[in-house]
Amino acid sequence: MHRTKVRVVEDALDANNTIAQANRADFDRHDVSVVNLMSAPGAGKTTLLERALDELDGVRVGVLEGDVAGSFDADRLSLLHLPVVQLNTDAGFGGECHLDANMVRTALPALPLAELDLLVIENVGNLVCPAEFRVGEDARIMVCSVTEGEDKPLKYPLMFRACELVLINKIDLVPHLDVDVDRLLANLDAVHPGVPHMLVSARTGEGVDAFRGWLTELPARAAAPA
């Protein structure tokens, strides 16, 4: 019984990876770098994008918004006059808790890939399953809010291991919390040694320049030989 389940999961992930490679081929053909942005619900992904993408000079950016229901985030980002496509997962039973490669693939025709340098895919807010599904991205970024507490890397290790950059958000709130940011960073380093991180506040703008720089340089990094 357990063995059968594991086998089904493996098959599903094999199928996902095959479609992720097809997405990757489409992105490469159009010379688009792709970020998969992940976090728990309410960690501030959309507010960070509002801040960072507003002034991304010289990089033509589009956004694919993943949500169980609604288009609240896509509506907000549309105000930046970027191409934004909403992808809702509630066609699945009760709402899928993550994006997978096939969902992203169904949205690609709605995106003007030929006119983009960078595509940001904002995943469904969830610290577990999004980390299990590649979608054809160059880089995975996760956002962790200091309000979530310093133990999150230890409790959701796969997510914190599966990313190339960690944004520690809402640092403006640290004086009002009992959180120990040094311990949060030590826990992060314990599960993903050496992963780059940035301390940011989407609300005040602190640290957002560094994130913007990282995004601006991604196309060059992605094109460089590994």
Compute the distance between CA of residue 33 and CA of residue 14 in angstroms, rounded to an integer.
23
Q: What's the distance, CA 4 to chain centroid?
A: 31
Furthest C-alpha separation in the chain: 54
Q: Measured from the CB of residue 72, what is the shortest distance to a second copy in angstroms? A: 5
Site for a second copy in 11-50 (CB under 8 A): 13, 40-42
- Give the up-direction half-sphere exposure of residue 102: CA atoms within 13 A in the CB hemisphere: 9
Which two tokens mark 32? 């688009």
Span interacting with a second copy, options 7-15, 108-116, 205-213, 217-225, rule CB under 8 A = 7-15
Q: Measured from the CB of residue 125, what is the shortest distance to a second copy in angstroms? A: 7
Judge contact between 127 and 40, C-beta under 8 A: yes
Tell me the number of residues near a second copy by CB under 8 A: 45
Our CB check for a second copy shows the closer of 41 and 196 to be: 41
Judge contact between 139 and 162, C-beta under 8 A: no
Q: What's the distance, CA 109 to chain centroid?
A: 20
SS3 of 36, please?
A: strand
Site for a second copy in 137-166 (CB under 8 A): 145, 147-149, 151-152, 154-158
Interface with a second copy includes 67 (CB under 8 A)?
yes
Compute the distance between CA of residue 37 and CA of residue 167 in angstroms, rounded to an integer.
10
Rg (CA), the chain: 17
Site for a second copy in 112-131 (CB under 8 A): 124-129, 131
Q: Measured from the CB of residue 206, what is the shortest distance to a second copy in angstroms? A: 14
Site for a second copy in 185-204 (CB under 8 A): 203
Our CB check for a second copy shows the closer of 116 and 137 to be: 137
Judge contact between 141 and 115, C-beta under 8 A: no
Span interacting with a second copy, options 27-35, 51-59, 69-77, 111-119, rule CB under 8 A = 69-77
SS3 of 88, please?
A: strand
Span interacting with a second copy, options 79-87, 94-102, 110-118, 193-201, rule CB under 8 A = 94-102
Binding site for a second copy (CB under 8 A): 5-6, 9-10, 13, 40-42, 67-70, 72, 92-97, 124-129, 131-132, 145, 147-149, 151-152, 154-158, 170, 172-173, 176-178, 203
